[in-house]
Structure 1
Amino acid sequence: MKRRNFVKTTAGLASTALVSTGAALAENWHSQPALLAKHSFKLKYAPHIGMFENTAGKDPIDQLKFMADMGFTAFEDNGMMGRDVAQQEKMAKEMARLGITMGVFVLDKGGNGANTLAAGKPEYIDIFLNGCRKAVETAKRVNAKWTTVVPGDFERRLPIGVQTGNVIDALRRGAEILEPAGLTMVLEPLSDTPNLFLRTSDQTYEICRGVNSPSCKLLYDIYHMQKNEGNVINNIDWTWPEIAYFQIGDNPGRKEPTTGEINYKKVLQHVYKKAKAENKDFIFGMEHGNSMPGKDGETAVINAYIESDSFAV
């Protein structure tokens, strides 16, 4: 039997089927593909390299095949810009063959503590703009439409309004490079450190409105926003017009859904219904670790997404 001739389970039976074959999945992915169960997810969840390497092996191509075999229809790779051109092209070809949509990659030197856009310094802006030009070339090779940008740290010697103006000015110039190529920078507010300039969804919404370009939108990372602002569903609604991409991680721990306090089934159901009503389509990046090590942990991740995706429509 060929690798991709898998039994298609119904939504009601998928979780049970995958749990019961978890051990077989871990031991027999290559040798006995008939034991695997492919799930039909309602949403485009995007794993990353390394998430399933204990089961699929370390080769990125094998990992992409495994993701597709499990029913995932998207993929994201923060470090894609750092891969050599041959690897990028090879991965793009495989994604096209498998029907996997490329999600975000991080724009190299898109703004950080060393060259924060909030400072308004020409040399920092030049670094960012060069990153935009390189991102366009990477996006062409891997068929990407989104690249993650973090403006960097606060420039605490300047008033907050001036910092915000500096960030908007820099992002406008970046959008001028990205827009003709059909590439969107998605700004990601983070919770990693209080020094980061971009912290909340409403602040990011304001900046996107200031930039006023289809190539500058909001990446709503549910994990980070749960930590920084909470009130997740309401904040999604308030900033909805500027959201272009979602990422997932439970809190505390930044592991797969069902391991923390976020009711992902409710959040995903809300986004699904809202997007369907407006004919929008989002990728949900699985930007988190695995709660358990090894192959069993990888099976647990898949089961967590089956459970979280089992909302009523």
Structure 2
Amino acid sequence: MNRSTFIKQGFLAAGAAVTANSLYGYNSSSSKMADTTFKLNYAPHDGMFKELAGASFLDQIRYMHDRGFRAIEDNGMSGRPIAEQKAIGDLLSKLGMQMGVFVLDKGGNGANTLATNNKDHLEIFIKGCKQAVEISKRCGGKFTTVVPGDFHRALPIEQQTANVIDALRRGAEILEPHGIVMVLEPLSDTPDLFLRTSQQTYLICRAVNSPSCKILYDVYHMQRNEGDLIKNMELTWNEIAYIQTGDNPGRKEPTTGEINYKNLFKFLHEKGYKDPVGMEHGISKPGKEGEERLVQAYREVDDF
């Protein structure tokens, strides 16, 4: 290569890097162009790249795109100002990224329960379903997380299950015409919660019998509550609509605990799963080093 050609190509490469940084709106420490996309559609959340991209969620989304991510999730979307919801949706559309779950506002995950047929609790849930329709229009999300609430010791479990099914059917009637899916999440946070296992959630989804009522399979919670992850996912697969991650113990990024995420992600890939894999966990190391390690961890487990 002659000297003039070498210099010309050098200017072109530098110009491309400047253009990329200008487009993404943050100061990248690297001059390379965007990383390759992952095999699965991993979805970070607000704050995961605040050290590398800044406090602005919009700048973090641009950075996520640059690092190869093609989805986000945002549990707190319901609480954001309307203008911010729309700005996030517009940016995702521009970048060709997918919106993952936001939490449906039903008055809280615990005591505000659907298991007791409490009229006030039910009205709050129905209001949350109607709000979810409008939020979805603004941010482009089609998944909304629902936790039925606490188990009630004074009622038989069968009665509580029937109450939850009745409430969810009413919610599905609101969401289904808009193509929105409420994903039910069994949790391990406290034994007081009504919804605990994938099989229990599967039974409820089959009873509701709506494309707008499916399972959110959070790998961290299910490892704690039931284990045997791939077998249980296989058994409940036709009702699973959304996946979330987090290693155990510690609820940090994959490779920090006992779960074989490379095997699990290979299973999801072979199943043809295309929707977001929500990164609902913390980061094992602080600062920029921890955020770089986060990306590296997902590169490692995405290599199957």
TM-score (normalised: structure 2): 0.91
User: What CA deviation, in whole Å up to 9, does each residue of 1:84-139 have, x standing for no partner?
Assistant: 01111111111111111000000012663232000111221111000100011001
**2:243 alignment partner, SS class:** strand
What residue number does 1:16 align with? none
What residue number does 2:248 align with? 251
Task: Report if the CA contact (8 A) 1:107-1:148 is conserved.
Answer: yes
Are 1:299 and 2:296 counterparts?
no
What residue number does 2:205 align with? 208
Task: Report if the CA contact (8 A) 1:222-1:249 is conserved.
Answer: yes
Structure 1 unpaired stretches of 5+: 7-28
Paired amino acid for 2:42:
Y
Structure 2 unpaired stretches of 5+: 1-14, 21-25
What residue number does 1:21 align with? none
Are 1:289 and 2:282 counterparts?
yes
Question: Which of the numbers 59, 73, 87 marks the counterpart of 1:90?
Answer: 87
What residue number does 1:152 align with? 149
Are 1:172 and 2:172 counterparts?
no
What residue number does 1:47 align with? 44
**1:92 alignment partner, SS class:** helix
Pair 272,256 (structure 1): closer, same or farther in 2 beyond 3 Å: same
Task: Report if the CA contact (8 A) 2:34-2:65 is conserved.
Answer: no
Paired amino acid for 1:310:
D
For 1:111 and 1:213, the matched residues in 2 are separated by: 24
For 1:48 and 1:196, the matched residues in 2 are separated by: 25
Q: How far off is 1:181 after superposition?
A: 1.1
Pair 301,135 (structure 1): closer, same or farther in 2 beyond 3 Å: same
Paired amino acid for 1:287:
E
Q: How far off is 1:271 after superposition?
A: 1.3
What residue number does 1:65 align with? 62
Residue range with higher mean Cα deviation, 33-42 or 141-150? 33-42
For 2:245 and 2:18, the matched residues in 1 are separated by: 27
Pair 219,110 (structure 1): closer, same or farther in 2 beyond 3 Å: farther
User: What CA deviation, in whole Å up to 9, does each residue of 1:155-211 have, x standing for no partner?
Assistant: 111000000000000000000000011100000000000000000000000000010
Q: How far off is 1:36 after superposition?
A: 6.1
Pair 60,111 (structure 1): closer, same or farther in 2 beyond 3 Å: closer
Question: Which of the numbers 257, 263, 274 marks the counterpart of 1:266?
Answer: 263
TM-score (normalised: structure 1): 0.88
Q: How far off is 1:249 after superposition?
A: 0.3
What is the RMSD of the two structures over their aligned residues, measured on CA atoms? 1.5
Are 1:226 and 2:223 counterparts?
yes
Question: Which of the numbers 100, 104, 110 marks the counterpart of 1:103?
Answer: 100
If you compute each CA radius of gyration, which structure gives the higher value, 1 or 2?
A: 2
Percent of aligned pairs with the same residue?
60
Task: Report if the CA contact (8 A) 2:183-2:215 is conserved.
Answer: yes
Number of equivalences: 285
Give every structure 1 segment of 4 or more consecutive aligned residues whose post-TM-superposition deviation is greater than 6 Å.
none
User: What CA deviation, in whole Å up to 9, does each residue of 1:9-54 have, x standing for no partner?
Assistant: xxxxxxxxxxxxxxxxxxxx61554146613210100000000001
What residue number does 2:12 align with? none
